[in-house]
Structure 1
Amino acid sequence: MKRAFITGITGQDGSYLAELLLGKGYEVHGLVRRSSSMNRGRIDHLHTDQTLHLHYGDLTDGVGLVNLIRDIRPDEVYNLGAQSHVKVSFEMPDYTASTNSIGTLNLLEAIRAAGLDCRFYQASTSEMFGSTPPPQNEESKFHPRSPYGASKLQAHWVTVNYREAYGLYAVSGILFNHESPRRGENFVTRKITKAVAAISAGIQDHVELGNLEAIRDWGYAPEYVEGMWRMLQVDEPGDYVLATGVGHTVRDFCEAAFAHADLDWRDYVQHNDSFERPSEVDALIGDASRAAEVLDWRAQTTALDLARLMVDADRKDVDRLLHSD
């Protein structure tokens, strides 16, 4: 039985990855932060699986990571833990850098210190490209436009360095935006689809958004975690872009989401300057040709289909809430 260690297991990607690996017969260990309230809703349905084990810890605690890696001795490590909200990174740059950059270094050093022969996956991001014009691929120039993008770029290069300096099987998945009904509610796609569900049920009258003209390449998270796993199954480590190859504006996503509930988005969307970034990333559209060639991976779900899928899920949640009594 292969053994995997996942940081960020309670997040969107971590929960889908845990499902995938458990389904493939892995023993899965996950890192969770200690807090006064439980935040494990995305993995609650997995708790009965006897091959899932959760451990308290934090990426900023290097000693704790050394002990965990030494004790668990995983075959595969997936570093998905991060402060991943771009707007928040402008407000909390120190915390973002500590978690995303130093946290990755701590984890890589824990693997090296344990003398572990394992395979390591680093969750890189399209935000590292920033102002570089699309389409962006593995050879495109990096120019991050936020503390989040910069912190992830450092983590990306540290991963490359450990691969080259120590011979570690270490890969970076440069994933473009990927969403699902498990997406955090403060991310724009989920904010939109939750608003559609609430407005169509008559319990909300509008939603406030920032830049509607930003172009993103949105895919479906369960497909992207399959790509993560595939990156660790090939003989030689490398870095891969995962993307659909098609860009849409936030306005396009709004229109599709509201239309799916027979609503005109223009009647309900209001602009709020406070949701604008200090420095914007205008367009991210990925070229995943290398992943298609080497990993036989291709995105299947389009952004507009994704909007409809997420609206359906959020409308079911609202209906369940309204009829729970």
Structure 2
Amino acid sequence: MSMTVLRNKLGSQGLEASQQGLGCMGMSFGYGPPKPEDDMIKLIHHAIDSGVTFLDTSDTYGPHLNEILIGKALKGGWREKVQVATKFGVEIVDKIKVLTHGEPAYVRTACEASLKRLQIDCIDLYYVHRIDTSIPIEVTVGELKKLVEEGKIKHIGLSEASASTIRRAHAVHPITAVQLEWSLWTRDVEEDIIPTCRELGIGIVAYSPLGNGFFSLGSGIVAKELPDTDYRKVLPKFQPENLEHNKNLYERVSEMAARKGCTPSQLALAWVHHQGNDVFPIPGTTKIENFNQNNGALSVKLTPEEMAELESIAEAVKGDRYPPTFPTWKTANTPSLSSWNVE
């Protein structure tokens, strides 16, 4: 089941994108070894032909391999059909330690390098991947503003930013989108971050809307069977002591999906879409059939009662989002500009 994907305004700064995007990370990084390049280019072209034109990547995926892949996929007239979102500012060390970089010189160098790898002249949406908490956010966004003025990027985004960081960044240059993890089993952003984005007219890009593949693979996921190159091996929800419990949750979602005549992943994705037209989920996949299934989620309609039933099932999830060494919006506050001495 596939259907036309509507385009919508992402944020209030003029960017238009497909209401559902394509997370490209898993093609090169994060979920086992990189997938065959030709197959991934075919998948990207199939996505674009199906109306999914909002492609999400980062310089850290690989590192660099994913941007190179997208650059190859966009040759030959495909560039004009898509909105390319990429990110900078993260360096992953030993799989579980994340270093962040928000220095102006780093911002500029990273942008130039991404443009080269993507083989494009301008990035549609450029995110701060994780907030560098040693530097005022105004300093990082100040450099991004210069890159907008120079025509190297069109729109600025933040990923995993706290409400106060979002406000401070937005005061320097309008923020188009905030990327955050939002799914049936990850809802901590609803209290503070989502209302802040809505108040400021900032679009919401939901990553891992299928719970890192949990709602597509469900009880087929057993942490010990994942390859060492799969980052779910370190995620708390996938640890054996939590996974056994979480599998029951999957079974209950499956039962509800069977009643609705859809798959568990379509049900989970439809739940994210029902949060509002300002929410753009970016499910990732490496298979055309899974992509088509994700597209089918757009035609799944949920009543308020069904939404509440899903939420009550998912409330029982066990395990944090990330290990303690991973930075998230909860630890994303930066020093004030007045307290920061420029050397």
TM-score (ref. length: structure 2): 0.31
Using CA pairs under 8 Å that are at least 6 residues apart, name the structure with larger relative contact order, 1 or 2.
2
TM-score (ref. length: structure 1): 0.33
